[in-house]
Amino acid sequence: MTGLRATSPERRSTHRLAHSLMIVSGGEEDRLNAAEDDPPGYDELYHAHRARVVRLCRLLLSDPHEADDVTQEIFLKLFQMHQRGDRSVAWGPWLTRVTVNACRDRRRSGWWKWWRERHQEFVEADLPANTRTPEHEAMSGEQRRQVWRAFRELSARQQEVFVLRQVEGWSTEEVADTLGVSPGSIKRHLYRAVHQLREALRGRL
């Protein structure tokens, strides 16, 4: 019981960090409730997952215009994959993997390294108006900028790991498989990311 009490505040702190990032990057995802024997159509998948994919792209790329551009590429790939008629695809995880890889490819491009040096700041107007929840409004503009700056200070790998583990809720093994690294490496990156975020935002959330 002592161990549980010791870790509970840390878990709550990590949950707050993840939830704050969800608010900053555009809110919650839509849900798809389709019967297993009734495969969803492309339009259903698009409306169910678009908000989540946009959020992931904005977290991993920071620039909203680039995020929207990459989102279009991702849903083109979804359309092409859906046309194949494979009923066995788990569309949610598939989209997450495609999104992470697409954002990584964009970051690896030569011009992106030049652009990244500008260190894009959080811009309130970049968030769609319909994603601003009461929780979003409860956070001050300065708090949202602090969360954004702290997250952008993480390495690209730490951002990926934190988003997949804490925002998407994937297991360590699932994240390791997607990123092509060992579970131990995922745990180390997550520990460093959480520690860095807590230090940067201590007493501010």
Predicted confidence at residue 19, as pLDDT, reads 67
Structural domains present in the chain = 14-201 (1.20.140.160)
Quickly state the pLDDT bin for 77 (edges 50, 70, 90).
very high
Q: How does pLDDT run across 79-96, given as a tens digit for each residue?
A: 999 999 887 889 999 999
Q: What is the rounded distance in angstroms from the CA atom of residue 144 to the CA atom of residue 123?
A: 9
The one-letter amino acid at 47? H
User: Encoding tokens for residue 182?
Assistant: 């060992």
Per-residue pLDDT reduced to its tens digit, 134-147 = 555 555 667 778 88
pTM of the model: 0.73
The 10 Å CB-count burial string (b at 16+, else e) for 94-113 is bbbebbbebbeebbeeeeee
Per-residue pLDDT tens digits for 115-133: 555 555 544 444 444 444 5
